[in-house]
Structures are given as C-alpha cells and as structure tokens.
Amino acid sequence: MLSNNRENENELISAGRLGCLFVFTRMKVCGLPLFTVLSVFSHSGSTAGFIIPESSVEGVALSDAMVANSSLPGAFTYNYSSMIFADSDQASIDLIGVSLDTSVAPLSPNSETGKQNNQASNALIPAFYIFQSLSSTYSWGLHFGVPFGLESVWPEDTFTYFQDVDTATGAGGAVAGLHPAQSRLELVTLSPSLAKKINQQFAVAVGLDYYHLMDAELNSVANQVSGDGSELGWNLSFQYHLNQWSFGASYHSAIDMQITGNANIAGVGSVGTKTSLGLPDRLQIGTGYQFNEQWFIELDIERIGWSEYDQLQLTSTGGAIPATTVFSVNTNNWSDVTNVRLGMSYKIRNNTQLLFGAAFEEKAQGDDYFDAATADADRYMLSFGVLYQLTSEWILKAGYQYARIEERNIEGKDYLDQLVLTGGVNSDANGTNAYNGQYEGYIQMLAVGISRTL
C-alpha cells in the first residue's frame, strides 16, 4: 500500500480535483489502450521498437544482413532492385514461427511478487514474394509480408500500483482499469515494385507499400478497444556490383496511418474513436564481398526513424463522449535508432549452402516515457540456416534465430504525484513508477520455406 507520505499528499487534493481525475481517467481508459495495442508487437519482432524486419527464411538465417545480396531468393524482400541481378526469376512461400519469452520482476511501489511472464501466444508470420523479368532492362516484383505487430499479455496482478493509486484517489476503478492485459496488432503490407537495369553493374527499383491494419485490439482490466485502418507509402532501392564487391541500399517511407475504432469503457459506455499512428521510415545500407565461390560476407547498417512515434491524440467520433472531443494525448518521444547486421554464407557443395548471422539492435524507447506494453530494450542476435537445391527448379530453406533482450531496470517518476500535481489532466502512466520492474527475455524464430525458379 501507499506510504504515510503518499496519504498526506492525498489529503491535499480537493474534491473538485478528485472529480476531474475521476472523469478524465475514465475517458483515458479508452485513450491509452488504443495507443498501446498499436505498439505491442515489439516483443515478438526483432528490431528494437515493434518492427519485424524478418521477411524471408534467408533473412532469419542471416540476421537480416541482405541488402547487398542478389544470389539468394529471399534477398528480394530486403532490396527490390536485387531481382535485376538474380540468376533466374523466382517465387517463394515462407513461414516464420516466433516464440517469445519475456518477463518482469515488479519493483516497489508494485507488490514484489516475483517474476511475471508475458503470456503472449506464439505467432506464425507468412511471407510471399515473386519477381520476373519483363525485358532485358526491366523486372517486376510483388512482396506480401508482416512488417509490424504481434501481442503482449500481462497478468492482472503484475502492476499493483494501478490499484493502489485508484484507492488513494477514490477513482472508483478508473485508474485500476488502465492496467494492461491483452494487446494485439495484426498488420500486413503488399508491395509491388519495378526495377530497371541502368547498366551491367547498377540497378534501381521503385515501389509502393500498402499497409493494412486488419485488427488492433486491447483488453485491459475493465475495458476493450479495437480499430483498423490502411495507408500507402513508397520505397526506393538500388544495388551496384563491382568485381567481387556489391553495394546496396533500401528505403521505405514513413507513414501516418489513419485509424478508426470503437472503445467500450466501463462506467462510461461506447465511444467511437479516430487517431493517426506514425510509423517510421527505414533505411538499410550495406556492402558485400565474394571471397571465392564458397564464401560471401555482408555488413549492413540500418537506420529506423522512430522519432515519428512521438505522440498520439485520440478524438471521439461520437457516443458516450461528444464527437470532435480530444480526450487523450499520449506522449512517447521515441528516438531514431541505428542497428548493425552481419551475415555470411558458405556453399559446402553445389546443392547445399549454409548461412550465419549476427546483429545488434538499439532500443528506441527511453526511460522518461517507458511503457510496459512495448518494454523496448537493446537486443543481440545470432542466427543460422541452410538452403538445399532439391531439383533444378526447387529450393528448400530453413533458418533459426535467437535474440537476447538485454535486462532493463525501470524506476519511473511517481504516478500519484503526477496525478496530484496536474489534477488528473496527465493520467498517462508512461514513464511512471506504475511500471517499475526488471524486464528481460529472449525471442526465438524458426523459419521454413520453398522457392521455385520460373
């Protein structure tokens, strides 16, 4: 429970301020979860934040160091211009299984109940891609994948300070209802592209990225929120080959996805909602070197513009809260990140190739606005895989990746003090001691696929 100092502070809160807190936090139950559900894929993705860069079996096996590669079918999903240099036209179907094991050991003022496990389910991520030559100069390609998403599920007794603050302020369950429970994001993308050969060494590609948010859903302790939306972005890539060297770069634009949804708020009712979700731009550059017929090595640098993920403003479209009312503003202030990737391939015989990878991925989420729904942290990855040429047309592929999530200790600013000082106007729990704890975990990916020359 709260200390005597906390109780003395509460005695200073006026009845009017309590009323403001009570009403605002009931509306906030709608505002916070919709934002949260759109960011929970991070734990099961690989890149810090909530991007899933693994878009092919080869990508899993090489820790996503593929932007300068053109010899493997799955390289197309990392650099669309690589299809110009491929030995043949290709079509592939890949499946990537994701197993997540993350936990938090709650710290005071939460009850120190020991480790609490994120109970998110395992996930299966599909990827489909095809590319074909149109002429000696042009090729076209199509890529279907899952770039963002997944799930987090924290048990109801993980962050007990929500209930303590609710009791202290007399909020009648409004603050306690903010405790995160199940959050899920299902987002897919379809990317058509066109590549042009400039000369024998250089090719460029341009394309579109159509993002479709099929379902964003949250179940907090007392409330449910859902939403969907779609948006269009663009991509640009190039690849250059010089003797044994290859160089590549791929860029995907940032987008602001317009999302509409509905919230059922305990004690308030049904509220229509709309918001804009900023998703980051992505730049990956790299260079590869072919030592001999057996060995190829590649080093990539990746820049993710997570500063796009800054603030979410939620507006009512009608229902229990009047339409056009801005009833929630959540601040995140994420930072841009730089990731480093290394991949190697070794051909042990004409029909068998081994793949190895390693990577470091930087966290985007700072301490000042830490949110347990994402619980972002630095990550270290190791991976390997194998490609087997079954026939002249068919290639079987498999890959495995292990990502260790670095331990992170959170001791945020006092949530109750924040509510008291602002009269409930800033009831967002991000960055407060409501999420105090030691966070850690790991991710495993197992991928299988099949490619066919066309």
What per-residue confidence (pLDDT) applies to 220? 58
φ/ψ bin of 149: left (φ > 0), alpha (ψ from -120 to 50), beta (otherwise): left
In this predicted structure, which of 80-94, 139-153, 221-235, 295-309 has the lowest mean pLDDT? 221-235
The count of C-alpha atoms lying within 13 angstroms of the C-alpha of 48, restricted to the half-sphere facing its C-beta, is 30
- How many beta carbons lie within 10 A of that of residue 422, not counting itself? 14
Report, as an integer, the average pLDDT of 382-388.
Answer: 98
Tokens encoding 120: 């998110």
The pLDDT value given to residue 151: 72
Domain enclosing residue 27, as ranges = 4-453
**CB burial class (10 A; 0-12, 13-18, 19+) of residue 435?**
buried
Quote the distance between the C-alpha of residue 44 and its chain's center: 8
Q: Give the separation between CA 12 and CA 33, rounded to whole angstroms.
A: 30
pLDDT of residue 29: 34
DSSP run (H or E) holding 19:
helix 15-37
- Percent of the chain at pLDDT above 70? 84
Q: Is the pLDDT of residue 384 over 90?
A: yes
| Cβ-based neighbours of 16, under 8 Å, separated by 6 or more | none
Question: Span 250-260, mean pLDDT?
Answer: 92
Q: Is the pLDDT score of 38 beyond 50?
A: no
pLDDT score, position 372: 87
- Based on the structure, what is the number of domains in the chain? 1
pLDDT tens column, 398-411: 999 999 999 999 99
- Does the pLDDT at position 28 exceed 50? no
DSSP string of 233-249, one letter each residue: EEEEEEEEEETTEEEEE
Q: pTM score, two decimals?
A: 0.87
SS3 158: coil
Domain with residue 323: its CATH number is 2.40.160.60
Split at pLDDT 50, 70, 90, the class of 281 is very high
Burial (CB count <10 Å: 0-12, 13-18, 19+), residue 279: buried
pLDDT of residue 221: 60
| CB distance 344 to 385 below 8 Å | no
Q: What is the pLDDT of residues 97-141, one digit of tens each?
A: 999 899 999 999 999 888 999 888 888 899 999 999 999 999 999
Closest Cα partner for 95 from 53, 72, 127? 127
Q: What is the mean pLDDT of residues 215-219?
A: 65
Of 70 and 42, the one with more pLDDT = 70
Highest mean pLDDT among 79-88, 215-224, 321-330, 417-426: 79-88
37 pLDDT above the threshold of 80: no
